[in-house]
Structure 1
Amino acid sequence: MIPIALSGDRSYNKDSIRRYVSEGTRIIPGASTIHFDEISRKRIFQSIDSARMNDVKLLRESFEQLKYRQGRIPSILDFRKYGSIDVNKYFVKFDSYYAFLVKYYSDEYKVRLTPEEASIIEFLSKKVTNMKRIYELALLQQLLQQRRRVSTYYEKTLEMTYHKKLNLQTEESVVRNLTNEFPKEEERKKYKDCVLIKKSSEGYVLEDKFEKMLNENLEFLKMVDELIQYGIENYQENYSDSYKDTDFQLYQKYTYEDVCRLLNWQRNMNAQNIGGYFYDATTKTLPVFINYDKAEDAIAYEDRFVTRENLIALSKHPRKVNSSDADHFFKRTESDKENKILLFVRKNKDDKEAKEFYFLGEVFAQGEPIPIKMEKTGDDAFEINYKLDVPVREDIYEYIVSEA
């Protein structure tokens, strides 16, 4: 609670809290400064490690406090408006804010949805509001308001309101996300009722069954509208300052799923299949994922920052310097010239609640790959010397490379 109280960060994200303890003087609002001595720091880190940030008691207390201030059951938008806990915590723990209210406040909260409606509210809460880009949210909002073809209006809204241009790959990705085609097989089955749009001869319209639900249940319509508005506000506050021509914002955090989606890949991939990096030939994107704080028994990969703008990273193994992996990184062939290599780094891969990587921008492989033999396995691999397009911001850099 100490770093949360001092920083005002209501996300209850363990990585954010650790970073605050490490770099409090840089992060604390206003002109104040703070320093944690070594003993205090260790005790706080131990407390953070053992804390359950999605604890029901914490969520209920936060709800009760806001309810008392409001004199009524708070709306989803009230949590941000009045500086309460991040309402996304309720989505993660209970699948939706609606499910939380039904479970704990059924005497006072009288709204009830059908199973299909509740599934869509869960899908919007856990997935769509947290897609960390605007395209899906803007399309749904426009369709709710107009209920007819929106191609022309949609593209104009993106350009005029959000300064975004829609290309074909992104448009196809938006359709996959809103028709339940992007998720892994298990989630596709779970959200089988969550097909929200369909393509018409002149643009996009709401899917018939979804539109019927909206027309027949005003409470459901209000929930959908509020969730979309919440997602838009979350995007504008945290993800709207895009880096170059990507949909990523420097130093924000992203999961494997986020990266697959924001790079417009056809499907969400398992983390094990991605490994330390993966090349998608369709989009010519190559995200590199680095766990900087390795476990003691981890295979002897020694990814390491040399400076704030230079990083040494290792290939998968077994891989030789003349492999297709090396071709993709060093852009040796004509088809590899347009490859975009993007860097994602996380401090602590053992944090079960914060499975996210800091986005650090585009990187460029320098020189030639350096062949090495892996110590424990004897496998071939190679080192890559990356130059970062943008030197890592100092506070983020010091947090990542520090041993604390």
Structure 2
Amino acid sequence: MSEELKAAVLAGLYDQDKYLVDESYGPKMIMNQNKETVWEYLQQELLSCTSFVLAPAFITTDMLVPLKAICVQLAKKGVTGTIVTSDYLGFNSPEMFKELLKLPNVKTQIVAQGAFHAKGYFFWHDGYQNAYIGSSNFTRNALLKNCEFNLRLSSADNAEFTQQIQQILTQIMHQAQPLEPAWITDYEKNYLAPNAATRLAPTTHEIKPNQMQQVALKELHELRKNKTTKGLIVSATGTGKTYLGAFDVKAYRPKRFLYLVHRRQILEKAKQSFQKVLGPGSYGIYSGQSRDDNAKYLFATIQTMAKDEVLAQFAKDEFDYILFDEAHHIGAKSYQKIMAHFEPKFCLGMTATPERMDDFNVYQAFDYNLAYEINLSDALQAGMLCPFDYVGVTDYEYEGQMIDEKAPLQALVAPKRVAHILKQLAYYGGKSNGGLVFCSRQAEAKDLAKSFTKAGYPSLALTNETSITQRKKAVAALEKGELKYLISVDIFNEGIDIPCVDQIILLRNTQSSIVFAQQLGRGLRLYPHKKSTLILDFIGNYKNNYLIPQVLTADRSLNKDRLLTDLKQQVVYELSTINFEEIAYERILAGIQKTKLDALKHLREAYQKLKQKLGRMPKLLDFMRFSQIDPLIFTQNSQLASYADFVEKVERKKLFTSYEHQVISFLEKELLNGMRRHELLLLQQLVKHGSISREKYCELLLENDCYVDQAVLTSVENILTLSFFAVKAGKKLRSEAYGKQPLILVGDDYQLAPQLADCLSAPDFKAYVTDVLETGLLLAQNYAPTKRFTLYQKYTRKDVCRLLDFDKDISAPLYGYRVVGEVCPIFITYQKASTRHGYQNVLTDNTAIRWYTRSPRTLASQEVKALLAKNSAGQAQVSLLLFIKPSDAFGAEFYYVGQAKIAPDSVKEEQLAAGKKVKKVVGMDLIFEQPLPLNLLEKLKPLREDPEY
């Protein structure tokens, strides 16, 4: 390590061309930019260090939740640390100091009555130290959002800089005193909080549209300019849908307006919001005993308005503007009855969740006029919602069994489970304005409310048996602080607005991503002095655990590799974090691995949602533009030959001929991924014009920044004439699956093969092929066109054979590596699914990996000689291209980590134990041309130490 550290420091501070740049050790500026955050670096340091000192002058309580989650893991490993902070300017609150006392294995030192204004973070590793010094305090904005200047410096244990840091910290420790409850009590007596702006503008000012509402209002105006009579707004909970409706009504100036919703509680709050925007006027409620028939602005419940005798009192054109709130219920008979009766000049639907469990199409109900859409992640990024800290903790084991969907009531309300829940609440919760608890059963809610109250957390259970009046009283009591928690099963999933709520406690199985997002949203409304919301999720042995990361990471791609990668990042949205205790994290990972995300059931659901949204069969390009589904997922499903094959199964009708399906299968399985633009660009020209000269084609490639040489031109020809695929696949050639016939004819000009040209005369087939090519070129933006491989992108063995311009697809017998001429691709599965083969690759750090040849091999083997051969200039004759994947669980794709060189002194014959046998191999250290970045190292980490996991 010392040589790598030395090289990295010299590269960073002296000459980057002469010395090896190593991101792990070299000097680095960290500024919360380019998708990197200061917290991401501190988090990785904490999880890998042997000890640490955090020395920020200012700490905010809201940033302690993710630190608490990490400290739980560190305590189990025996890692200790120290926090040094101060009482300078009264920035640090007494509540924050109380929370610091909860951290296990961490001592806090206070520099009191002095101008301690430092911002430093220090981490000790084996043989070296990493120091982060700069402008970031331990606050949410400083660690996740603000433009900060922080310098990371690495130094060896015996370095002069390390000694300086140690001396400075020792000196500060002598001046400091331990944080103790008595000190906090004295501090609290004289504490005056500094003035701070809240996240909300004063409500005394005129209410004006926010950024989202301004865009939506403009889109609604454009709809009506085009004589459209219906429109739909899809907006995440808490983003101001009701005010948006009021602003649009104000702009429209209706003679008479009708607002409809299914709950009286929502109705009354909506009326108040409209009054704030519209000002004085005639407002009325039409529900139950309230029948304000003559009000200009009428607010009615669906249940009352849908009665025959009520509808009979209103003319069809009584209202020129009707607004349906919570419009995802529009498929209900009562809603449909009202829509059929009235004929307004404009009808607006608003919902946070247009997806429905049944087959009713909400988009169709509003003529597919989606005026505006903002999802949860967009709203968080725009600062329209309160940031959250999600913590996944392990649920209680009852009689040796983890809580699951079938757990009996006595397990759910067992005293030990309640004690476990309350212990986690006490650790992560801190001071709270109030929380909502979602559990599985009504009896559970009632028992938990009693147990919570008895433990000092005044709580009330609310079920569907609770009247509206009782619910209103309970909400009012929570807002006043008389109650700590409201515990329910499903009644608070939607239509409830309690902005002060800053804790969401989840004690149930995640039934659907829609419900999970709804429950998450209950705590994300902005509120004065509310800086973040705690989402505490008790994770049991639930079959739907895979849904949790889908919502948290906003990854609905159904791509398992991508979801696992997103989850490992553990930072989500702007200012929000996700954190898992170790066992809970493993349960989520296990849930993802056990679930077939690309199962036909999930693909069908995604297809139907997008079809409902568009009002037609979606194209592949539509999934790129209007959905989060990865279009490649249809080609990766072993049960499908192509997306066209899937559509025929879903729609139950024949779209294309057998030969057309073979062509489509080729295009999607071989070219759609966009890893090489060359074939896509050529086919796109041929579909448009029928032929193109070789010279014009080369010009086209250069115009698109693609590399051009004879090898790649020959490779393109081999691919599109299918000769590349003329290899055995069982008893057949693989090319037979693609129709046997070439797609193009090769001569002075490139031309479409006659059979394909004939098929392209059919408009539907031509449109489909055009869609595949356009989608492929859009996906190609993920790859550098000037190079055969893009660093840290993923490739299969077959992809590598194609991109290396091999004449044939030799991916089947390629196995771990193959020397072909002057190149050798090497494929490494870092975490083996089984140890029976004896191979255990080891990443010594981010600069090298220990690798072994196949067996039996010795230094005298021709293959090994080729790998070690040098030319007359002393350079390696064979270029080593290195591809690594974390484990077999991550599928067939490997990360390309660049070229590698063999460390000469590391090459030796070895014997590996494989079961009862011993293998003769040659082992060697492969030095990466570029050290692996920290985020890739995180992706390559084993799921757990057990190799059989």
- TM-score (norm. length: structure 1): 0.89
- CA change 1:350–1:3 in 2 (3 A) is closer
* Equivalent pair of 2:851/2:925 in contact (CA under 8 Å): yes
Q: CA deviation at 1:126?
A: 1.9
2:686 counterpart of 1:148: no
Match of 2:774 in 1: 229
- Match 1:391 to one of 918, 931, 937: 931
2:610 counterpart of 1:66: yes
Match of 1:190 in 2: 737
Match of 1:286 in 2: 824
How far apart are the structure 1 equivalents of 2:778 and 2:600?
25
Match of 2:722 in 1: 180
Q: CA deviation at 1:333?
A: 5.2
Specify the SS of the correspondent of 1:308. Answer: coil
Specify the SS of the correspondent of 1:84. Answer: coil
How far apart are the structure 1 equivalents of 2:934 and 2:629?
28
More strand by share: 2
Match of 1:259 in 2: 800
How far apart are the structure 1 equivalents of 2:835 and 2:925?
25
More helix by share: 1
- What residue identity is the alignment partner of 1:361? G
- CA change 1:71–1:316 in 2 (3 A) is same
Q: CA deviation at 1:232?
A: 0.7
Match of 2:809 in 1: 268
2:591 counterpart of 1:80: no
How far apart are the structure 2 equivalents of 1:164 and 1:344?
23
Match of 1:91 in 2: 635
Q: CA deviation at 1:104?
A: 2.0
* Equivalent pair of 2:885/2:893 in contact (CA under 8 Å): yes
- Match 1:8 to one of 545, 554, 559: 554
Q: CA deviation at 1:131?
A: 5.5
- What residue identity is the alignment partner of 1:382? V
Match of 2:708 in 1: 166
Is 329-338 or 220-229 further displaced after alignment? 329-338
How far apart are the structure 1 equivalents of 2:787 and 2:894?
16
Match of 2:175 in 1: none
Match of 1:318 in 2: 856
- Match 1:38 to one of 556, 570, 582: 582
- What is the percent sequence identity of the aligned residues? 27
* Equivalent pair of 2:909/2:923 in contact (CA under 8 Å): yes
- What residue identity is the alignment partner of 1:325? E
Specify the SS of the correspondent of 1:149. Answer: strand
Is 315-324 or 286-295 further displaced after alignment? 315-324
How far apart are the structure 1 equivalents of 2:858 and 2:876?
20
How far apart are the structure 2 equivalents of 1:185 and 1:119?
18
Is 392-401 or 332-341 further displaced after alignment? 332-341
Specify the SS of the correspondent of 1:345. Answer: strand
Q: CA deviation at 1:137?
A: 0.4
- Match 2:597 to one of 53, 57, 62: 53
How far apart are the structure 2 equivalents of 1:334 and 1:129?
42
Residue correspondence of structure 1 range 226-375 to structure 2 within 5 A:
226-236=771-781, 238-239=782-783, 241=784, 246-271=787-812, 273-281=813-821, 284-332=822-870, 337-351=876-890, 354-368=891-905, 369-375=907-913
Specify the SS of the correspondent of 1:379. Answer: strand
- What residue identity is the alignment partner of 1:199? V
How many residue pairs were aligned? 387
* Equivalent pair of 1:123/1:194 in contact (CA under 8 Å): no
Specify the SS of the correspondent of 2:775. Answer: helix
How far apart are the structure 1 equivalents of 2:850 and 2:861?
18
Q: Deviations over 1:216-269 (max 9, x none)?
A: x11111111111111111111x22x26xx6421111111111111111111112
Q: CA deviation at 1:24?
A: 1.8
Specify the SS of the correspondent of 2:708. Answer: coil
- What residue identity is the alignment partner of 1:394? L
| Greater relative contact order structure (CA < 8 Å, 6+ sep) | 1
- What residue identity is the alignment partner of 1:157? L
Q: CA deviation at 1:356?
A: 1.0
- What residue identity is the alignment partner of 1:223? Y
Q: CA deviation at 1:350?
A: 4.2
- What residue identity is the alignment partner of 1:122? S
Q: CA deviation at 1:194?
A: 4.8
* Equivalent pair of 1:139/1:154 in contact (CA under 8 Å): yes
* Equivalent pair of 1:363/1:386 in contact (CA under 8 Å): yes
Q: CA deviation at 1:337?
A: 4.0
Q: CA deviation at 1:325?
A: 2.5
Specify the SS of the correspondent of 1:103. Answer: helix
- CA change 1:29–1:164 in 2 (3 A) is farther
Q: Deviations over 1:261-320 (max 9, x none)?
A: 11111111244x222211112xx2101111111134332223211110111111111111
Q: Deviations over 1:111-133 (max 9, x none)?
A: 73221112211221222213611
- What residue identity is the alignment partner of 1:268? D
- What residue identity is the alignment partner of 1:91? T
Match of 2:922 in 1: 382
* Equivalent pair of 1:143/1:150 in contact (CA under 8 Å): no
How far apart are the structure 2 equivalents of 1:50 and 1:100?
23
How far apart are the structure 1 equivalents of 2:763 and 2:573?
42
Match of 1:206 in 2: 752
How far apart are the structure 2 equivalents of 1:6 and 1:287?
37
* Equivalent pair of 2:680/2:776 in contact (CA under 8 Å): yes
- CA change 1:115–1:269 in 2 (3 A) is same
Match of 1:157 in 2: 700
Match of 2:483 in 1: none
Specify the SS of the correspondent of 1:34. Answer: strand
How far apart are the structure 2 equivalents of 1:340 and 1:29?
40
How far apart are the structure 2 equivalents of 1:39 and 1:198?
58
Match of 1:401 in 2: 941
* Equivalent pair of 2:816/2:827 in contact (CA under 8 Å): yes
List gaps (5 residues or longer) in structure 1: none
- What residue identity is the alignment partner of 2:605? E
- What residue identity is the alignment partner of 2:931? P
How far apart are the structure 2 equivalents of 1:97 and 1:270?
24
How far apart are the structure 2 equivalents of 1:41 and 1:3?
10
Aligned Cα RMSD in Å? 2.1
* Equivalent pair of 2:555/2:628 in contact (CA under 8 Å): no
How far apart are the structure 1 equivalents of 2:624 and 2:741?
26
* Equivalent pair of 1:309/1:388 in contact (CA under 8 Å): yes
* Equivalent pair of 1:300/1:375 in contact (CA under 8 Å): yes
How far apart are the structure 2 equivalents of 1:328 and 1:6?
49
Q: CA deviation at 1:43?
A: 1.4
How far apart are the structure 1 equivalents of 2:671 and 2:805?
15
Match of 1:122 in 2: 665
* Equivalent pair of 2:598/2:633 in contact (CA under 8 Å): yes
- What residue identity is the alignment partner of 1:150? S
List gaps (5 residues or longer) in structure 2: 1-546, 945-949
How far apart are the structure 2 equivalents of 1:194 and 1:83?
35
- What residue identity is the alignment partner of 2:896? F
- CA change 1:104–1:403 in 2 (3 A) is closer
- What residue identity is the alignment partner of 1:176? N
